[in-house]
Structure 1
Amino acid sequence: MAYEELSNSTIFPLGNKVEGNFIGDAYLHMVFTDPTPLNTAIGNVTFAPGAHNNWHSHKVGQVLLVTGGEGWYQEEGKPAQLLKTGDVVNISPNVKHWHGATKNSWFVHLALTPGETDWLEPVNDEMYNKL
């Protein structure tokens, strides 16, 4: 999918390019940051093909709502799961994981993140390239 086609098909604006803790081009648009009533930040994250974040965990947990494209989600010690539009991932507190686009598809999700994120090491390129 071309960049122009992607930006015309997404629900929320593309946002700003994310610097640090990501491999490849990823963009973030904060949809919701008000502490009431849910006390959770909601970010629309858009990954270009091949883009993904570093390993990380969330002190309170996280929920991902996939709104477009195809991507990967992987918890440490488990196989990667292919994600598609409409999938929901409920990530428990302090679970080390990463997520991002497949090599050939844009990937867009809403990330509901109520607490702090602990950023860790990059995903091994050899492992990602085998997916």
Structure 2
Amino acid sequence: MNIEPKTATAKGPADWFTGDVWIDTIASRKPEPSRMVAVRVRFAPAARTAWHSHAHGQTLHVTAGVALMGTRDGTILEVHPGQTVYTPPGEEHWHGATPDDFMEHLALLEGTSDGDGATWLEHVGDEDYHRH
């Protein structure tokens, strides 16, 4: 076993996020058979992901603030620190901070042979975001 080197905090790419988001990699994908990816993601108020899905699903665990998580059918969950949400494979969704507060979550997922298994789509518009 070994201690993994720490990677620098990275700004979330504008193609994937609206607003200011910072990403800290906890575990990057290792060679097969491992597929685990784990990141800490911090969202400024009103920041959010674009619509996206994951080939093998995704587990999100909120550690600070209040998260909003939405699906294509218009459902928006309000998720509090200590709560965990599972999104099944292929389900298009988004997640982010409330308009007035920062939010932090751990994202746990299984990558694919060519990356993290995420399919990134269009940005979440204000109408969908403010539906809560």
Q: TM bucket by the smaller chain?
A: 0.7 to 0.9
Q: Which moved more, 1:48-57 or 1:29-38?
A: 29-38
Q: How far apart are the structure 2 equivalents of 1:67 and 1:121?
A: 26
Q: Which residue of 1 aligns with 2:98?
A: 102
- Per-residue deviation at 1:34? 4.7
TM-score, structure 1 length as denominator?
Answer: 0.83
Q: Stretches of 4+ moved more than 6 A in 1?
A: none
Please state if 1:113 is matched with 2:109. Answer: yes
Q: Contact conserved, 2:76 with 2:131, CA < 8 A, in 1?
A: no
1:1-131 to structure 2, matched below 5 A, reads 15-20=9-14, 21-35=16-30, 38-115=34-111, 116-131=117-132
Tell me how large the CA RMSD over aligned residues is. 1.9
Q: Distance in 2 between matches of 1:43 and 1:49?
A: 19
Structure 1 letter corresponding to 2:37: A
- Is the contact between residue 71 and residue 105 of structure 1 (CA under 8 Å) also seen in structure 2? no
Larger displacement relative to structure 2 (30-39 or 42-51): 30-39
Long gaps (5+) in structure 1: 1-12
Number of aligned residue pairs:
119
In the alignment, the residues of structure 2 paired with residue 63 and residue 126 of structure 1 have an alpha-carbon distance, to the nearest angstrom, of 25
The answer to which structure has the higher helix fraction is: 1
Give the % identical residues: 34
Tell which deviates more after alignment, 89-98 or 36-45: 36-45
